[in-house]
Structure 1
Amino acid sequence: MLALNPEVPKDPEKVDRIMKSATHIFAENGYLQAKTADIAKAASVSKGIVFRYFGDKGHLYLATVEYVIEHLTSIADFSVWRDANDLGDMIERAVRYKIELQLQYPDEFTLSVRSFGELGSLPEEIQGEIAELWRNQTTMGMLELEQPVIDRMPIRDDVDRGTLQRLLSAVADQVFGDAQQFMQQHPKAKIEDFEPIIRQIQDEYRILEHGFLK
């Protein structure tokens, strides 16, 4: 989203300070209550610089969510997922690891969770971009992390890998929908509050792995 105003020169140090202060203030107050003036003050820049770099508060929020996703992705240890024995084990490992990360990066996780629940209150011009951003992150991430686990599993010879991936994609889409609905109802939820959804995912994977016939 830094490409929003590509013709405007941007000081990398100022951008970094703005992103860090925006992450904290959006996480603490939510989109509607967060004030651009407070973000600028915390970043030691003028309010004009914030608008010059990002255009408006909505696009600043979008850029901040993108920043958070990139940051969490850069520090995540994906072997926690990829080294799992099966899909159920992978989900359990992932939840525990995310709780650990949440304790280390509370603002980043709070904002990532809030960005689900706040979709309806965001400006219309960025609602679709935020939703698509998280949908792509969820779907692509799950498939990439699941694939090494699937490759180690004794899949039947008559199972088409493309069909299996489409089934897993459908589950990923459902995860996104369930998480979004949950966050709309519980905007201050923490990662561990997703445990019922995680158990549901585990049940769905168990059925995919073992079938549903006696």
Structure 2
Amino acid sequence: MTKRLSRDPQKEKAILKAAIAAFGVDGYRAGTDKIAAAANVSKGSVFRYFDSKQKLYVAAVHQAMATLTAVADLDVWTASDDLVSMIIRATKYKTELSHQYPHEFALLTRVYAHDEQVPEKLRTEAFSILNTWAQQAQSMIINQVVDKLSLRPELDKKLVKRFLSITIQEISRQIQSYFEQHPEIKRMEDMTEIVNQVKTYMDILEHGIVK
């Protein structure tokens, strides 16, 4: 019986790092030969550790998620006293984090967007990995935010949470775009334009659009 070769954690780590970068930049069409070269291992080593490109892709998604989960500070979302500061601070933090971990964000953005390069079954599996974590984190954040709000007694709290989640996601996308266009902005004091815009959104949220 052939003895199975022991795994080298450093090689495995190097392959995953290279895979995250390659899949983030080139999508699923990234070649395993390119990944092997970036990891400084043979192509055979890639398949010895991960069996197939599909398994390597799933492992890369898991690793990207694990990396960001380990460093992300959810207190940035939950420690704010009001929705305006929460959305601004959290989106700025997310933007900065994406600059620190560009390959992880690039890969997970492709997963979230249902990258059509990826075979359908694998695409569904990868999205499920990301979506499960995102739903759990979002639920925790929204729960804590809603607990700080003085809601009208007749409102269904579940619907309020769902509505807030949808609203915050869209506003956050707009703010992230603003930060990408203005990388020089670092302090809340310099964010008057976007803060005022978010305040207007929150005023509409709290008071409606009808007299």
Residues 136-165 of structure 1: CA distance to partner in whole angstroms, max 9, x if unpaired?
233222111222222112123333433433
CA positional deviation for 1:133:
2.3
CA positional deviation for 1:57:
1.4
Q: So what's the TM-score if we normalise by structure 2?
A: 0.71
| Aligned partner (choices 54, 57, 66) of residue 70 of structure 1 | 66
**Gap runs ≥5 in structure 1:** 1-6, 180-188, 194-199
1:81 aligned residue: 77
Number of matched pairs: 189
Q: So what's the TM-score if we normalise by structure 1?
A: 0.71
2:133 aligned residue: 137
Residues 110-158 of structure 1: CA distance to partner in whole angstroms, max 9, x if unpaired?
2222333452110223011122223223322211122222211212333
1:88/1:55 Cα in 2 relative to 1: closer, same or farther (>3 Å)?
Answer: farther
Larger displacement relative to structure 2 (96-105 or 152-161): 152-161
8 Å Cα contact 1:113-1:190 kept in structure 2: no
1:55 aligns with 2:51: yes
2:94 aligned residue: 98
CA positional deviation for 1:201:
9.9
Larger displacement relative to structure 2 (57-66 or 160-169): 160-169
**Gap runs ≥5 in structure 2:** 182-196
User: Share of identical aligned residues, percent?
Assistant: 38
Distance of 1:121 and 1:114 partners within structure 2: 10
CA RMSD of aligned residues (A): 3.5
Distance of 2:77 and 2:159 partners within structure 1: 22
Distance of 1:191 and 1:66 partners within structure 2: 28
Distance of 1:205 and 1:35 partners within structure 2: 46
1:44/1:103 Cα in 2 relative to 1: closer, same or farther (>3 Å)?
Answer: same
